[in-house]
Chains A and B, each alone.
Chain A
Amino acid sequence: MTIAAETAPDPRREPFQPSDGRWITLGLGAALLIALGLPLVVALLWSFMDPATGWFAPDILPPSYAMDHWQWAAGNDSIVKALGLSLFIGVCVTVLTGILALPTAYALAKLPFRMKRAVELFVLAPLIVPGIIVAIGIGTIFFRLDLVFTIPGVILVQTVGTLPFMVRVLAATIEAIPNDLINAARTLGAGPLMVARHLLIPLAWPGFIAGGLLTFVASFEEFEKTFIIGSPFVQTLPVILWTYLGGRVMIFPTAAVVTFILLAPMLVIFFLAERVLRDDVMASGMGKL
């Protein structure tokens, strides 16, 4: 009598009838195709619409294709500038957030101190208050400091939103470093800075990468705070996209092109991150409040 063998070599996953697996693949695959594949294909088609013929109902495919919108975008100053600005701000925000978050994450992870819970909650607070309120609130202060409509202003306001995640992810990663390792290093003569350099940073690296990628992505696609503080002088890609979509006339093809310009670096980072990141690191940072 034969017994159905497990299809996967992983002994730790719960076994169930292997035939069920195929149904899940089918269902999820279809869902993914419809929810993800379809929209992206449609957007792609819009970007190649020939302005001469347009693309109206009931056509399911554009009658003809042209590179016009892509060419226009490549030559368009404000779009190219916006891309550069988005990247620049993203990097700045990531670096700033990382520097600010590390010491605090360490304290939360390893040091016992009285106000710990309060600090934890406070660091999480920016997530509890809707972003637009934070933005408008900061706006009034920045107005007095002459930081509105400036790039540093946008960097500062975005950091408020990215700090909570970075601190959480870093704290979770540092917490996972066994105290004994740090103790061992100290008995061997390492002072705090050496411990940080040789132990903390190398061992917390996954947290850095996870947090850094999360932060960069959050900054790159951030709209509300940037819009409130920066617009109309500081235009990142999302802000530019908004002007194409929220205006009187919606220009789909242009919006489609800008969308892909927005998405391209994001998807590159995303697939890079998938190889490097571990789900549990990301989830652990956000899964507990």
Chain B
Amino acid sequence: MSTIEINDVAKTFGDVTAVAPLDLKVGDGEFLTLLGPSGCGKTTLMRMIAGITLPDRGSIKIAGRDVAALPPERRNVGLVFQSYALFPHMTVGANVGFGLKMRRVSKAETTERVRAALALVDLEPLAARFPRELSGGQQQRVALARAIVIEPDVLLLDEPLSNLDAKLREHLREDLRVLQQRLRVTAIYVTHDQAEAMALADRIIVMRAGKVVEEGAPVALYRAPRTRFAAEFLGQTNVIEITTSGTLPWGDAVRAPAGAVVSIRPEDVILRPDEQGAGRVLGLSFQGATVEYRVDLGGTEVRARDTGTGAPILPEGTTVAVRLNAEPHRLSDAPVRRLVSVP
């Protein structure tokens, strides 16, 4: 059972709080994503799990073992770096086999396991090459193979795809997920890309300034975020403050008292050209699959999104009627608190 238990772990660097005290549990085989902007502490947290950074307090258990006293080389974690961190003076094969060599695995077994790992990432023919000769995507796959061949208790991935171009990123993303599920290895994935997080994770932990803001499964987190930060960080949303109880600024009804804050996703705002409409198109942006609109509704600027080739392009100035496709979701004002999260 390769679960991870983090208890009351915190880290400060000088007078900067990188990670505020937090608890976290990761289930066996779970794909957990740490999501947040730069400097939110997600990388620091990961490095503490790996043992590269020592926490100021708290305990970390991997697969039931307390790893506090263990240096990184004894924790059995597989770490995939944003910079790939391949050993430039070794061939691909030697890179992947390094962890096995450190574990004193026999030569014959190493050769076989390296071959199998490279086959998993589709790089078998490149075993004799040097990292310098490979493309970014290939290097990343080597880094991945190197981390999984040792059969780690947990796979830690630190923004592994951010150095790659968009198309390659999507491609590798899918491969990664498939691989993780096939190997059933517990994975913790760090990223600032919310689309990536939602596509990959079983569960997302949203972090900000060292603290956990919210956590949940992607669908729940996206469709029913509790906090404003999470609502705005994942995808796009309209955050509307309710001044008059029960009414949206443009008159439509809403189940929320005055002072509440609600979130309406742009894709839930349906526009229809209508002379008597309450809204007016301020601007639009054609993005291929979607058209994004900025609409003035009763003095409030609202974003709307329409999808599909059949979607009409409504030019600036068009008067539109607005219909909401989903109930505006109420965001809580609750301050950030320590979460004890259980999968």
Contacts and interface: CB of A to CB of B under 8 A. Distances in A.
Q: Do A and B interact directly, with beta carbons closer than 8 Å? A: yes
Nearest to A16: B71
B57 interface: yes
Contacts of B64: none
B13 A3 contact: no
B53 interface: yes
Given A9-B14, A11-B44, A1 B66 contact: yes
Given A9-B13, A9-B14, A11-B44, A1 B56 contact: no
Interface in A1-34: 1-6, 9, 11, 14-16
A5 B54 contact: yes
Among A3, A6, A9, residue most surrounded by chain B Cβ atoms (within 10 Å): A3
B241 to A, nearest CB: 40
Contacts of B18: 11
Given A1-B66, A9-B13, A15 B52 contact: yes
Contacts, number: 28
A3 B58 contact: yes
Contacts of A6: 53-54
Contacts of B57: 2-3
A15 B54 CA distance: 8
B59 to A, nearest CB: 6
Interface string B43-77: 01001000011111111000000101001000000
Contacts of A9: 13-14
Nearest to B44: A11
A258 to B, nearest CB: 47
Interface string B16-55: 0010000000000000000000000000100100001111
Contact of A4 (B13, B47, B54): B54
Q: Report, as a range, how many residues of chain B touch the other chain.
A: 10 to 19
Interface string A214-237: 000000000000000000000000
Q: Report, as a range, how many residues of chain A touch the other chain.
A: 10 to 19
Nearest to B58: A3
B14 A3 contact: no
A6 B48 CA distance: 12
A2 B58 CA distance: 7
Contacts of A5: 54, 56
Contacts of A1: 59, 66, 68
A215 B182 CA distance: 62
Contact of B55 (A3, A14, A16): A3
Contacts of A2: 57
Contacts of A4: 54
A9 to B, nearest CB: 5
A251 to B, nearest CB: 54
Contacts of B56: 3, 5
A226 B336 CA distance: 72
Interface of A: 1-6, 9, 11, 14-16
Interface of B: 13-14, 18, 44, 47, 52-59, 66, 68, 71
Given A1-B66, A6-B53, 8 more contacts: A1-B68, A3-B54, A3-B59, A5-B56, A9-B13, A11-B13, A11-B18, A16-B71
10 contacts: A2-B57, A3-B55, A3-B57, A5-B56, A9-B13, A11-B18, A11-B47, A14-B52, A15-B52, A16-B71
